[in-house]
């Protein structure tokens, strides 16, 4: 057990010290670490890939448990039912996607390049390019901290929504009731992808929306598109020192969406009378272009800024603090609300921070 800085555990490279730090490499170690911290009355912060987490410069006073379990088990594989694969919570997500595409397990290829661990994906129902993990998750095995027992959720029991699940809904001030141990996916067998649902990706693949493409082609194009937006981690590219998309796409009543210009992108929200809008479009149209930052102590463009490739990401330009990144977020959110009357909500988990 050693102390450490949260900045070393997050893709934004900000965050102060942990009160205690434990790295748990097996399911038994995860459960033991959580139970011990709970028994001692300590606050608990669960970290794995650190790609969707922004921690204050004061750090976290309790116990930080890094989920470092790796590997997966194939429980079944046949041409009718596809493949049932149980993945350890700490297993790198993109390594799983890469393996799936190589072995003709389809359904998650459009989620290529997303940083972080597999165990984090069901919490926020991680998604991109028209796909999300709720489409392929069969079950999630967790440790229930209230009952001190293992709890397994089926897909329907997870109550998936847009960037939402029962796992997220029961997380309070960054502390989850349910700690993910494993995630089971049910993936069809075949070289073809799931139907392409995102227009930009369909154009890149030269197919119509709703058509399929070879899964390896989908992975290649998604990685290319993500890299062009600074959304694939690269230690040499400061645009990737972020939490990914900082704001979720707002879901609003149809009459609110109707007040926007015709050019404003609109997407089905999956609920009657509601429309999903593009947070990136709102940010740009409110006057916050790529690279926007707040001048501070003579630092041109600011220590933190919007990505120079994509307005949804707030990046650490090299010497930013968590406070610097939150200051940019506050400015952008206030500007969008002033211009359009629509309040943006953060996608990453904020620890010791408020917008």
Going by C-beta distance under 8 Å and a sequence separation of 6 or more, which residues neighbour residue 262?
A: none
- List residues bridging with 350 in a β-sheet: 54
Q: Is 79 buried (19+), middle (13-18) or exposed (0-12) by CB count in 10 A?
A: exposed
Closest residue by Cα to residue 27 from 183, 187, 186: 183
Q: How far apart are CA 217 and CA 322, in angstroms?
A: 37
Q: How many CB atoms are closer than 10 A to CB 313? A: 25
Cα angle value 162/165/166 (rounded, 5°): 155
| Kind of pairing between the strands at 137-144 and 149-154 | antiparallel
Q: How far apart are CA 105 and CA 114, in angstroms?
A: 18
Q: How many CB atoms are closer than 10 A to CB 130? A: 18
Q: Annotated catalytic residue: which of 27, 109, 184, 347?
A: 347
Q: Annotated catalytic residue: which of 56, 245, 307, 321?
A: 245
Q: How far apart are CA 306 and CA 302, in angstroms?
A: 10
Q: Annotated catalytic residue: which of 145, 163, 238, 333?
A: 163
Owner of token pair 């993500």: 226
Q: Is 347 noted as a catalytic residue in this protein?
A: yes
| DSSP helix/strand/coil, 221 | helix
Q: Is 163 noted as a catalytic residue in this protein?
A: yes
Cα–Cα distances in angstroms (integers) from residue 315 to residues 241, 245, 249, 302, in the given order: 5, 10, 19, 10
The catalytic site residues sit at 163, 245, 347
């Amino acid at each position: 057990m050693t102390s450490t800085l949260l900045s070393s555990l997050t893709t934004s490279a900000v965050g102060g010290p942990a009160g205690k730090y434990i790295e748990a490499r097996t399911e038994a170690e995860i459960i033991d670490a959580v139970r011990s911290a709970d028994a001692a009355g300590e606050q608990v912060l669960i970290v794995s890939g650190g790609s969707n987490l922004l921690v204050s410069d004061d750090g976290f006073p309790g116990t930080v448990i890094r989920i470092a379990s790796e590997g997966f088990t194939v429980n079944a594989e046949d041409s009718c039912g596809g493949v049932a694969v149980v993945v350890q919570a700490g297993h790198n997500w993109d390594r799983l996607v890469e393996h799936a595409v190589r072995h003709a397990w389809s359904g998650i290829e459009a989620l290529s390049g997303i940083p972080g661990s597999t165990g984090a994906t069901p919490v926020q129902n991680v998604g991109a390019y028209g796909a999300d993990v709720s489409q392929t998750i069969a079950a999630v095995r967790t440790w229930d901290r209230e009952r001190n027992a293992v709890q397994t959720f089926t897909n329907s029991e997870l109550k998936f929504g847009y960037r939402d699940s029962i796992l997220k809904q029961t997380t309070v001030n960054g502390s989850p009731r349910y700690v993910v141990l494993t995630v089971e996916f049910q993936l069809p067998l075949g070289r073809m992808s799931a139907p392409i649902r995102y227009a930009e990706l369909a154009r890149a693949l030269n197919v119509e929306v709703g058509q399929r493409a070879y899964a390896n082609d989908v992975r290649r194009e998604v990685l290319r598109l993500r890299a062009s937006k600074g959304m694939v981690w690269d230690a040499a590219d400061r645009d990737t020192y972020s939490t990914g998309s900082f704001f979720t796409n707002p879901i609003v009543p149809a009459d609110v969406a109707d007040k926007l210009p015709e050019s404003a992108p609109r997407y089905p929200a999956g609920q009657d009378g509601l429309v999903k809008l593009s947070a990136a479009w709102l940010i740009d149209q409110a006057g916050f272009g790529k690279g926007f930052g707040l001048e501070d102590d003579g630092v041109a463009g600011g220590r933190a800024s919007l990505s120079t490739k994509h307005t949804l990401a707030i990046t650490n330009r090299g010497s930013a603090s968590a406070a610097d990144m939150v200051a940019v977020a506050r400015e952008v959110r206030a500007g969008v609300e002033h211009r359009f009357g629509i309040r943006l909500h953060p996608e990453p988990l904020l620890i010791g921070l408020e917008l």
